[in-house]
Amino acid sequence: MEEERKEKIEEINEKVNEVMDMNLVESYIKDNIIPFSYEDKQYRVRRPSLKERNVVNELRIKKQVGMLKAKNKDGSFVYSSEEDLIKLYKERGVDLNELQSKMVSLQNKRNQTMLKLGKALKDKASEGDLKVYRDEIDNLKEELQVLNIEKTTYLEFSIEQQMFIFVYSYLTSMITEKKEDDKWVSMWKSYDEYLIADEKFINIVSFHAALIISNNSLT
C-alpha cells in the first residue's frame, strides 16, 4: 500500500516536472534570445551576429593554422589531426577505420529495418510484428551510440575536435549577456575571462547557447 502510494507520488512529480520543463522549452522557441537566471541574477544568450560569426571564423583559421604548424623541440608536430590519430591508434592495435565501417554497417541495417517497420505500419501489421522491428531499431541505435562515443573519445584531442570546442566556446563567450541597471551588457570582456569563469555557470550558459547556435556556425 505504502509502496503504491510512493509510486503514485513519484508519477505525479514526474508529470509536474515535465509540464514545467515543457513550458520552459516553449519559452525558448518564442524568440532568438533566451533569458535565464542564475543565483538570482538575470542573464541571456542571443543569436550571434554575422559580424561575430566572421570574427570567430577568422580566429578559427588563425588558430587552426597555428596548431597545424606548431612543432616540438625535436621537430615533431605538437598537435595531431584526426587522420594522424587514426594512424597512431592503428599502430597501437586500435583500428578506428574498422570502427567507422562497423558504424556505417549498423546505420545501413537500421535504415533497412526502418523501411521494413515503415512498410509494416503502412500495411497495418500486428502490434507484435511492429514491436519486433521497433526493438531491433532501438538496439541498433544503442549500439551506434556506444560506438559513436567510443570514436569521439578516441579523437577527442584531434585538431578538428579542439577547433570545434574552441569555436563553440568563443561564440558562447560572445553571446552571453548580463542585466546591469536595466541594461544588457556583455558577460565577459574577453575570451580569457570566459575561460576562468565558474564551471557550473559555464555549463548552464553552454546548455542555453547550444539551443541557439546552429551547427553551421561551427564549421
Partner 1 sequence: MNLDRAYILLRKLAKSEYHQSIYSKCKELNFKLVKNDIDFTELQIDYFNLLSFYSSLSTDIYLGDVDKIVLTDFIYEDAYMYYKTNKDNKDNINSSGQEINMNNKILNKKKDTYQKSQWVFKTPKRVK
Residues of the shown chain interacting with partner 1 in the complex, contacts defined by CB under 8 A: 18, 21-22, 24-26, 28-32, 34, 47, 104-105, 107-115, 117-119, 121-122, 124, 127, 130, 133-134, 137-138, 145-146, 149, 152-153, 156, 161, 164-165, 168-169, 199, 202-203, 206-207, 210-215
Place of cell 580569457: 192
Q: How far is the CB of 2 from partner 1 (least distance, A)?
A: 30
- From the CB of 5, what's the least distance to partner 1, in Å? 27
- Minimum gap (Å) between residue 56 Cβ and partner 1: 16
| Nearest approach, Cβ of residue 4 and partner 1 (Å) | 26
In the complex, the smallest distance separating the C-beta of residue 88 from partner 1, rounded to whole angstroms, is 20
Give whichever of 28 and 89 is closer to partner 1, judged by the CB atom.
Answer: 28
Nearer to partner 1 among residue 101 and residue 186 (C-beta): 101
Residue 15 host element (H or E): helix 2-28
Beta carbons within 8 Å of 49's beta carbon, 6+ residues apart: none
Instruction: Give Cβ neighbours of residue 218 (< 8 Å, ≥ 6 apart).
Output: 164, 167, 168, 171
What is the torsional sign of CA 102, 105, 107, 113? negative
Nearer to partner 1, 42 or 108 (CB): 108
Q: Which residues are registered as beta bridge partners of 34? A: 45
Shortest Å, Cβ 75 to partner 1: 31
Q: Which is nearer to partner 1, 91 or 127 (CB)?
A: 127
- Dist. CA 185–CA 41, nearest whole Å: 13
| Minimum CB distance to partner 1, residue 191 (Å) | 13
Residues 6+ apart with CB under 8 A from 195: 169
Nearer to partner 1, 76 or 203 (CB): 203
Q: From the CB of residue 170, how many other CB atoms can be counted at a distance below 10 Å?
A: 19
Burial (CB count within 10 angstroms: exposed 0-12, middle 13-18, buried 19+), residue 172: buried
Report d(CA 180, CA 95) in Å as an integer: 53
The nearer residue to partner 1, 59 or 197, going by C-beta atoms, is 197
